[in-house]
């Protein structure tokens, strides 16, 4: 059986065009929805209905201009950026500090606290929505961006603490911190000057994952934001969709305008995420 399997592997690797053909087919299957999304933004409703996969007759950016005005794009983009930046920055800072304390303390109580954070990963977030809604309403934060930010921080810290905790234990040398303590550094100063700069790979990973989750979050803004002035991008797209019919030539430009900043952020940050994966592989 082993000899037969090795023979099949050698036969497969002797024809590299087979692998290339499979990869090209997979890439085409992934690209078709993206192609349909992009070309539809330049079409009229009739053209999109009659010839969905054909190229547009002309590159008319009128649909983008209409979507920009309908969404009040600068306002919703600003709200989304405020929520995303505040949530991601808070999650990174709070989770890094909590994970550092839990990783560097071997007392049983600290292990129990860490396990409680891990238990939070197993509990569906939707189970606490009713209580969370009552709490936000009692605090007087309803229909404010702070409500969404606080909820994002509470729900995003669990996975971030787990990632930071694992990285600190495996990739941050304890000897560096011991040297800093011998030189008279306090615990906060050691964390910010010694440990935190070494967390750049996992910070990039947490920032990317959290940004994707916060930017694409629809439930929290829908629950806690009522006025149109506080809308984020996805909520504004939802409120511009017809109840009984959908004009795809109007919807798709809104979607592209919504994901364009996110794509730019991911393209900028992906090299740092790759460095973090490579560093973890080398040290593991």
DSSP output for 16-72: HHHHHHHHHHHHHHHHHHHHHHHHHTTS-HHHHHH-TTSPPSS--THHHHHHHHHHT
User: What is the pLDDT, as a whole number, of residue 82?
Assistant: 96
Residue 58 contacts by C-beta under 8 Å, 6 or more apart in sequence? 42
Amino acid 277: pLDDT:
55
Cβ contact 249:96 at 8 Å:
no
Q: What is the pLDDT of residue 284?
A: 44
Domain borders along the chain are 21-60, 69-283
How far apart, in whole angstroms, are the C-alpha atoms of residue 29 and residue 36?
A: 12
Of 77, 95, 123, 30, which Cα lies nearest the Cα of 215? Answer: 77
Burial class (CB in 10 A: 0-12, 13-18, 19+), 140: exposed
pLDDT at 35 > cutoff 70 = yes
Measure the CA angle with vertex 236, ends 229 and 126; round to 5°.
Answer: 100
Average pLDDT over residues 156-184: 88
Considering only residues 221 and 278, tell me which one the structure prediction assigns the higher pLDDT.
Answer: 221
Higher pLDDT, 271 or 153: 153
Place of tokens 């934001």: 225
pLDDT at 280 over 50: no
pLDDT on residue 5:
56
What mean pLDDT comes out for the span 23-34? 88
Q: What pLDDT score does 281 carry?
A: 45
Task: Pick 69-283's CATH classification: 1.10.3720.10, 3.60.20.10, 1.20.1260.10, 1.10.10.10.
Answer: 1.10.3720.10
pLDDT digits (tens, 9 = 90+) for 36-55: 888 988 888 888 888 888 88
Between 95-104, 155-164, 261-270, the lowest mean confidence (pLDDT) is in 261-270
Rounded distance, CA 269 to CA 267, Å? 6
Answer yes or no: pTM beyond 0.85. Answer: no
Please give the mean pLDDT across all residues of the chain. Answer: 84
* Digit-coded pLDDT (tens) for 106-157: 888 888 888 888 887 788 777 888 888 999 999 999 999 999 999 999 889 9
pLDDT at 128: 81
- The secondary structure of residue 262, as a DSSP letter, is H
Of the candidates 143, 145, 136, the residue with the CA atom closest to the CA atom of residue 80: 145
Q: Which of 14-23, 25-34, 209-218, 260-269 has the lowest mean pLDDT?
A: 14-23
The separation between CA 171 and the C-alpha centre of its own chain, rounded to angstroms, equals 24
Q: Which residue has the tokens 């979507």?
A: 67
pLDDT at 273: 65
- The reported pLDDT for the residue numbered 6 is 58
What confidence tier does 73 reach under pLDDT thresholds 50, 70, 90? very high
With tokens 């909590």, the residue in question is 98
């Amino acid at each position: 059986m082993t000899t037969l399997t090795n023979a099949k592997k050698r036969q497969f690797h002797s024809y590299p065009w087979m692998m290339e053909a499979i990869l090209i087919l997979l890439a085409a299957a992934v690209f078709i929805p993206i192609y349909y999304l992009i070309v539809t933004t330049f079409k009229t409703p009739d053209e999109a209905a009659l010839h969905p996969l054909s190229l547009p007759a002309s590159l008319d950016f009128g649909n983008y201009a209409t979507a920009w005005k309908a969404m009040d794009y600068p306002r919703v983009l600003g709200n989304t950026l405020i929520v995303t930046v505040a949530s991601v920055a808070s999650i990174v800072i709070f989770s890094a500090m909590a994970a550092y304390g839990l990783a560097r303390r071997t007392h049983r109580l600290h292990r129990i606290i860490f396990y409680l954070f891990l238990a939070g990963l197993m509990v569906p977030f939707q189970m606490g929505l009713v209580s969370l809604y009552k709490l936000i309403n009692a605090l007087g934060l309803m229909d404010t961006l702070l409500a969404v930010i606080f909820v994002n921080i509470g729900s995003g810290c669990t996975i971030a603490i787990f990632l930071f905790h694992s990285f600190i234990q495996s990739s941050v040398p304890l000897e560096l911190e011991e040297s800093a303590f011998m030189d008279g550094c306090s615990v906060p100063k050691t964390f910010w000057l010694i440990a935190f700069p070494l967390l750049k790979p996992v910070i990039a990973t947490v920032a990317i994952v959290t940004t994707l989750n916060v930017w694409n979050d629809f439930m929290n803004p829908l629950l806690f934001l009522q006025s149109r002035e506080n809308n984020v991008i996805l909520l504004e797209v939802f409120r511009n969709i017809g109840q009984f019919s959908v004009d795809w030539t109007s919807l798709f430009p809104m979607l592209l305008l919504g994901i364009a900043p996110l794509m730019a952020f991911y393209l900028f940050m992906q090299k740092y995420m790759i460095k973090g994966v490579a560093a973890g592989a080398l040290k593991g």
